[in-house]
Structure 1
Amino acid sequence: MPHVVVGSENGAEVSLYYEDAGAGDPVVLIHGWPLSRRSWDSQVQTFVEAGHRVITYDRRGFGRSTHAWDGYDLDTFTADLHTLVEHLGLTRVSLVGFSSGGGEVARYAATFGTDRLHRIVLAGPVIGADRQMAADLTIASRRHRISMLDDLLTRFFSVDGESALDEPTRRYLLQAAADASAKAVTDSIGAWSNAEPLADLIRIDVPTLVVHGEQDAFMPYEAGGRQVAAAIAGSATVLIPSAPHGVPITHHEQWNQAVLAFLND
């Protein structure tokens, strides 16, 4: 299984698990909290068939990556991403970040520059969070994490209280989230809820697409996507009708079509 070492902790290696498929201009898909690379299952084959080299990976603490004790902050997540890009020698790479994964994309561009980058896609980008909501999620994660994740993934995939995702798939994603490190799940709430990425976003100087579910109740377009798009000069926006926060999964055909049209333009 392919892994890249991104650090060490108590004398042991901390590594990321990744999968690398296809050929052509590379696309790195960065999952959001509290999911794993498996949340991109509806994208990988389609993107490969469209002529891209597709890299997915698990953030530290999630999926098959090391369940480290520390490092669940935006700078460390971004450094991990940079190590993966360097390890694979990627150039002309497009970074696609879903939800909180967009924070890594913006911080990557601000910290490491855009010389290697071709395009950026930010899907349902999260700009901070209501402080009370973040505090409530943190308490719930500590006290009854699985119930919290169950409720969260119901909200991620619902429109007006009705699920836009079949229940077996939702439970599959819930299991992936539940398998993550308990500390990673809890600590990562602070990583995205305290993020103020506007200073990073204004430094992006490559073509950027913001894709948002029109009915996103977790991070409504007005609170997230619109502000992100306004901060990035020349960015484009696509709103997917009747779609929730988890639009790459619930409306993957429309989402894939919009993103591939942008990447291949």
Structure 2
Amino acid sequence: MSMITAKDGTQLYYKDWGTGQPVVFSHGWPLNADSWEAQMLFLASKGYRCIAHDRRGHGRSSQPWDGNEMDTYADDLAEVIAALDLKSIVLIGFSAGGGEVARYIGRHGTKRVAKAALISAVPPLMLKTAANPNGLPIEAFDEIRDNSITDRSQFYKDLASGPFFGANRSGSKVSQGMIDSFWLQGMQAGSKNTFDCIKAFSETDFTEDLKKFDVPTLIIHGDDDQIVPIGAAALASAKIVKHASLKIYPGAPHGLAYTHKDQLNADLLAFIES
């Protein structure tokens, strides 16, 4: 398997498909690089080099006890990019991976980045605070933590067969295969790592990171996202990122990289080629 060793010895798995301008993907919680397969296959077939790593503690990467927070995630991403000497990157992050992309730009700048895209992404801040009244209350994330400890496997099944793909909406056509894929990826991840990541994606404030974006940025979000509500996420980020382009998918759930893959693929290709 393709592996890069981070400074602390953590082994980071990555996929590297195709040739051309690099498109680098950061996945969501509790998933791994496999969650991007529809986008990677499509864009690699269009002449782009598509790279996606498994975040530490997820997928085929090591499961270290420490470092399961956004600064380290961003530094791991930087190590992958540097090890492969990638330049003029299109950097794409989904959900928690959108936070990873934001923190990467906040900590490492855009010297290697040509464009960025945030898909169903958590920035600027998911947690409800006095300054962020549209966020979700801490109790919502405490419930995720409780479910992760009580019965993680069943929780992932419930999440995938419910709000993640919008399977709890009338008329939903979410397949059992999509649900199974989410569960399988989640169970490949470490219990401690996914537990720590809940705090990372929910309580990290990316406002200052977003202010450092100085490349063309595409923000895509579904207006029926039950996981990362659009008001505290995409709508807020679009006001912070300079000259961001915002696309709202009517009726789309959080997991739109699966449910709306053809629309997302077309929009990403048009953005990259613009």
Aligned: 1:134 with 2:138: no
Q: Is the 8 A contact 2:126 2:228 kept in 1?
A: no
Shift of 1:143: 1.7
Return the letter of the residue paired with 1:201: L
The TM-score with structure 1 as length reference comes to: 0.95
Matches within 5 A, 1:1-265: 1-8=1-8, 13-126=9-122, 127-129=125-127, 130=136, 131-153=138-160, 154-158=162-166, 161-162=169-170, 163-265=172-274
Distance 2:269 2:174 in 1: 22
Post-superposition Cα deviations, 1:25-45, rounded to whole Å, max 9, x if no partner, equal 100011011111111111111
Return the letter of the residue paired with 2:144: L
Q: Is the 8 A contact 1:73 1:191 kept in 2?
A: yes
The alignment partner of 1:158 has SS state of coil
Unaligned residue ranges in structure 1 (runs of 5+): none
Distance 2:219 2:195 in 1: 27
Return the letter of the residue paired with 1:182: S
Distance 2:229 2:202 in 1: 15
Q: Is the 8 A contact 1:240 1:254 kept in 2?
A: no
The TM-score with structure 2 as length reference comes to: 0.92
Distance 2:34 2:175 in 1: 16
Distance 1:186 1:159 in 2: 24
Unaligned residue ranges in structure 2 (runs of 5+): 128-135
Shift of 1:59: 0.5
Shift of 1:159: 5.9
Query: Where do 4+ consecutive residues of structure 1 move more than 4 Å?
Result: none
> Matched residue pairs, number?
261
Shift of 1:164: 4.3
